[in-house]
Structure 1
């Protein structure tokens, strides 16, 4: 597998039926019959062009014909649909609804806004309606800034991203696939998006269908925490690891572990070679280093604590000297 392929998000569907339902009637795994993606979804949203393709599906720019009819000068939205292969499974639409149910709980300026979930009846295609964002993603920014970002730029992006994920965790929503391509620097601020592999914390929204991590892998390998690679359930600590990799990359221009998975990096003991990026203030490094720990038991820091470290003002030379004399 080449390096480019390693960046892909891998996925498969979980069966959402209970064991009792399975005993009553085995459900066929044959693909559902889907129509082609129509030019107009839901009799209202006119697809204009493809914006991007991810692990689960594709995002399109669309025109809301109803808003346009009533004279809205900006009737544009983004539509997320499932890929053809993914959409053919019987419970695919339910899983897309799970993404809607999770993200719709979040009302934060740095989290993408969802407007609705619908199913186009003739084609049987489910889709999400989202705000249309314009701007580069963090992976595009990193391509332009291979040496990383200076602290004034880095801190602005890092704090906005940390605030978004801290807020998500406080409401019991785990992202599950945090990486530079899922963060956009929009015209009016940063947006964290694509909760397609996200899950609620245990006990929250128990009726939602979930991705079953015992039957498939669902992550972008170089941002996946070691415990996910070993089959453990998604947790806040796993999101912290992915976020820490992104922050290190923004500070240095390099992935902390040579773009390798945590399992590969641990076998090579790359954590022992970690050094503070030059553009990261000294006071932030202990927190970020803890967040990059391979073992979950040693990753003893939350998003909120990481945010606190990045919000703290850098120490001046005089303060550092005084601390060094005590």
Structure 2
């Protein structure tokens, strides 16, 4: 089967070579079936969700259980059976782990370890087990949109998580409501499976060949990605802006169309400010929703600043003058 990876110094879609191939297992798995127990430690209990390339399971850590841990459960991610058959499948999953394990932020999912099962040669990684609704459920339940104060409690930590990722050189690549969860101890951004490092970070890390795999969700993908362009901070910005618009308004800014379809229909010309959004936030959010990358004249940091800003009221200004 063709390779799903590319290295920084090789054409897209070539087999791994050089340093990356020596340091990361790229052996094709002996069996596409996932064992019930991986590495004699992680017992698979049930499937939690399936994405474009990966599958996530609830698993019991038998070692932690043996030592009396009252909560020995983890989330275990492996590539789904289709991608597990790629000759470089293990390196594909390791790329995600190498990126996300460097992220240390309270609103980004915490990763524990990367392993390869000795019997099946299936690569897997373990991470914190998240519990709670994802934003797609919230959006479907709140079709009138969230009030401003409630919206800020979600928007700010989401933007902080993305800003932290970009600051550490990590692009997400597939921001969508189902990749954001509201847990008991706060919001979590997860699933960096389509993520990439910014230029200069981890130069030896193999990268996903986007010419062969386009697994992002079309209605959240920036126009340049749909046209075969590179993943950038601006593409992540567009995706998160679409989510924010949905949360505050209760509906997709472009009628759930792709950016390409919406641009052809000139929907950007009729985009209105959501009723619940303060006026001072609209210019920045609207800029983030621009179809063309060069027209997105803002950043995640500026969008975060606009939501954090509290304009001084007329009464406060009058009181200030008389103080």
Give the alignment's TM-score, normalised by structure 1.
Answer: 0.89
- Structure 2 regions of 5+ residues with no counterpart? 18-26, 319-323
> Which of 272, 296, 299 lines up with 1:299 in the alignment?
296
1:238 aligns with 2:229: no
Which aligned pairs between 1:1-326 and structure 2 lie closer than 5 A?
13-16=4-7, 32-314=29-311, 316=313
Mean Cα deviation higher: 142-151 or 170-179:
142-151
Paired residues in the alignment total: 306
Deviation of 1:32 after TM superposition, in Å, equals 4.9
2:218·2:258 contact (CA, 8 Å) conserved in 1? yes
**Secondary structure of 2:143's match?**
coil
**Secondary structure of 1:118's match?**
strand
Q: Distance in 2 between matches of 1:35 and 1:52?
A: 18
2:53·2:215 contact (CA, 8 Å) conserved in 1? no
- Structure 1 regions of 5+ residues with no counterpart? 1-11, 25-29, 322-326
Give the alignment's TM-score, normalised by structure 2.
Answer: 0.89
**Secondary structure of 2:208's match?**
coil
| Residue in structure 1 matched with residue 24 of structure 2 by the alignment | none
Q: 1:314 to 1:279 in 2, by over 3 A?
A: farther
- Cα deviations across residues 180-226 of structure 1 (Å, max 9, x unaligned)? 00000011000000000000001111111101223332321011111
- Alpha carbon RMSD of aligned pairs, Å? 2.4
Q: Distance in 2 between matches of 1:147 and 1:304?
A: 27
**Secondary structure of 1:294's match?**
coil
Q: Distance in 1 between matches of 2:62 and 2:299?
A: 44
Q: Distance in 2 between matches of 1:136 and 1:314?
A: 32
